[in-house]
Each structure stands twice: as C-alpha cells, then as structure tokens.
Amino acid sequence: MWVGENESSKFWLKVLTDIQQRGVRDILIASIDGLNGFSEAIQAVYPETKIQRCIVHMIRNSTKYLSWKDRKSFVNDLTPIYKAINEEAALMALEALEAKWGDKYYIAVKPWRDNWSEIATMFEYPAEIRRMIYTTNARKCRVRLELFTYYK
C-alpha cells in the first residue's frame, strides 16, 4: 500500500518504480482512470504495457456535462461503443454518437474520440478478457494483478 498526498503522475511513477524494484518485470494491461500523466508514467516504467481507459470513468466524466433529461438516452447511445464485437463496430457506434450528440454535447463526446487509442485496447482481446479490463473497479476483477503480471 502506498500513501500520497494526491494521485499525481509523479506519485504513480514512484509507485510503479517501486513495484518494478520489487520484482514485477512486466504488466500486460493497465486499466486506468485517465489521470493526467498516468499513461506516461506507466509507459516510462513498463513500455510494453497496454493501456486501457476505464469505461466507467469515461461514462461518468461524460455524463457530468449532460442535462438530466438527456442522460439516459446518451448513456444508451454509449453502450454500443463499449459492448461492440470489435473495434470497427465500436467506431461506427462512436460516429453515431457524434452525429446525434456532438453538436449539443461536444464536451461530453470529444473525450471518447481523443482517448480512443486507450479505449479501444480492449478490442484486442476476447470478450471474457474485456470484462476484466474495461473498468478499474477491483470488484469486477479480483485477480487482475495475478493474471496480468509476472515476477522474476
């Protein structure tokens, strides 16, 4: 357990370096919440790690810009993106979301396009793996660390 004043990229770089020094040689996938600089910290210590942006955090961040009356419909339109069978279908769903909501809620839609490379990581894996990596919620994947790391 690490304690810090805040979750800065500098703090996470220290944590990751400590993990590396304790013997973790590689991390296959890191599911992150989008903290500025977190991806860069991971890549600095574990350059081969795949970054997966937490879909739950993406949804929460988008919905804070929506009016209450549009939230349910907007979230329903997000679902085909992260539940798509492949990246191509997900991109088509993202285009539909942009077409429907982009003018009215540009600020809620834009992060999905801007962070696509980290959102789409999950499409490199079968559906069973996607369910484990699409969120940072540890209850959704209690064995994440054991599955995706190995020691010297």
pLDDT, tens digit only, all 152 positions of the chain: 777 777 777 888 898 999 999 999 999 999 888 888 889 999 999 999 999 999 999 999 999 999 999 999 999 999 999 999 999 999 999 999 999 999 999 999 999 999 999 999 999 999 888 888 877 765 544 334 444 444 43
Q: Is residue 2 part of a domain?
A: no
Domain assignment present for residue 106? The answer is yes
Q: Give the total number of structural domains in the chain.
A: 1
Residue 30 lies in a domain: yes
**Domain-located, residue 140:** yes
Domain extent, residue 117, equals: 9-17+26-147
For strand 24-27 and strand 29-32, is the pairing parallel, antiparallel, or unpaired?
unpaired
Q: Is 121 in contact with 109 (CB distance < 8 Å)? A: no
pTM here?
0.82
Between β-strands 50-53 and 29-32, what pairing exists: parallel, antiparallel or unpaired? parallel
Residues 6+ apart with CB under 8 A from 59: 75, 78
Q: 82 in a domain, yes or no?
A: yes
